[in-house]
Structure 1
Amino acid sequence: MFGQNLPPGAGAPGPDLANTGQVIASYTNYAGAQRAVDYLSDHEFPVENTAIVGADLRMVENVLGRLTAGKAAASGAASGAWFGLMIGLFLGIFAVRAHGWLWLVLMGLVWGIAAGALFGWLGYKALGGRRDFVSTSQIVASRYDVVVRPDLAERARNLVGRLEL
């Protein structure tokens, strides 16, 4: 059956530690909270009773630059190239002659680039200037709390206290 080799409690819904657990440490970044849980694990603490809870969440969108019709077409061409190459290689498996295989791969690549560029350009034009920029977005927290089951909180607090020394 699926999941039989997992340790007890792994992958199974556990207690709602975000609401019932005790905060043993708080960090300004996720890496700090991750380091604390890793330290607990290294010292054989039952980390399946631990959670990292982000507080005061906000969505941050970083604008990378202006999007133009040319950039949209180029991005589409790059995506299309990979897709066309994959299709060409797949069809090339069934080619009888060696030069037929190479021709199919190259044609797949060319058609993929052309179709990707066209669809990228059309997608840009369809937006009508409503989103002329490229960006990435992520959810960040102002604080990351490490919480554990209340009956294990004192032990965890003592261990993590040694980490911060």
Structure 2
Amino acid sequence: MSLSSPSGRRSPMSPLQLEFPQSLATYDDYAAAQKSVDFLSDQEFPVENCLIVGTDLKRIEKITGRLTYSRVALGGVASGAWLGLFVGLLFTIFTEESAFATIASTMLFGAAFGIVWALLGYAATRGQRDFQSVTQVVATRYEVLVEHKVAAEAREILTRLPGALPNPFA
């Protein structure tokens, strides 16, 4: 797992790599993997020799609501107004005019721009995606890897983890 340059010389390792990693334990959730590394740290184990690797990735998409022209328009107004507020605040630095008038006018222009842009974008989809959602990529398993030269020490320490399985290394 070390990097080599085309000339054959070794280049510096990435901080996200171990030279000769060995599996220490596998967990079903990140919190359990983190707990084991934290326990190793509490026992003054050199945790810079550890990696937590999420494997078996899956994408989760939670549907948060139905999209309609009115919801899209409302979202466009809101995001455009925020952009207008930001631009208005910047303009107040460089103008002698009333700060309120500058901010209000840029927010109105931003809201108008936002609603038009959002509705055009939504209309372009032609009903292909009439819902809102949030997505996240998550791992289904987490493996703690450790550098080979300290693997035995890590295994011995991890057997003393309160609530640990009798053999978490299987």
Could you state the TM-score of these two structures normalised by the residue count of structure 2? 0.79
In the alignment, which residue of structure 1 is the partner of 2:61? 61
Equivalent of residue 145 in structure 2, options 147, 150, 160 = 147
Match of 2:79 in 1: 79
What does the per-residue CA deviation read over 1:49-101, in whole Å, with 9 as the maximum and x for residues that have no partner? 1111122222222222211111112122221121100100100112325xx11
Q: What residue is the counterpart of 1:122 in the other structure?
A: 120
Query: Aligned partners of 1:123 and 1:84: how far apart in 2?
Result: 19
In structure 2, the partner of 1:13 is 14
Structure with greater helix share of residues: 1
Which amino acid in the other structure matches residue 57 of structure 2? L
Aligned to 2:34: 34
Aligned length: 152
**Which stretch has the larger CA shift, 120-129 or 60-69?**
60-69
The share of aligned pairs that are identical, in percent, is 43
CA distance in 2, matches of 1:80, 1:96: 24
Aligned to 1:5: none
Alpha-carbon RMSD: 2.2
Match of 1:136 in 2: 134
**Distance in 2 of aligned mates of 1:155 and 1:28:** 23
Where 1:163 maps in the other structure, the secondary structure is coil
Amino acid at match of 1:107: S
**How high is the TM-score relative to the length of structure 1?**
0.81
In the other structure, the counterpart of 1:44 is: 44
Give the secondary-structure state (helix, strand or coil) at the position aligned to 1:157: helix
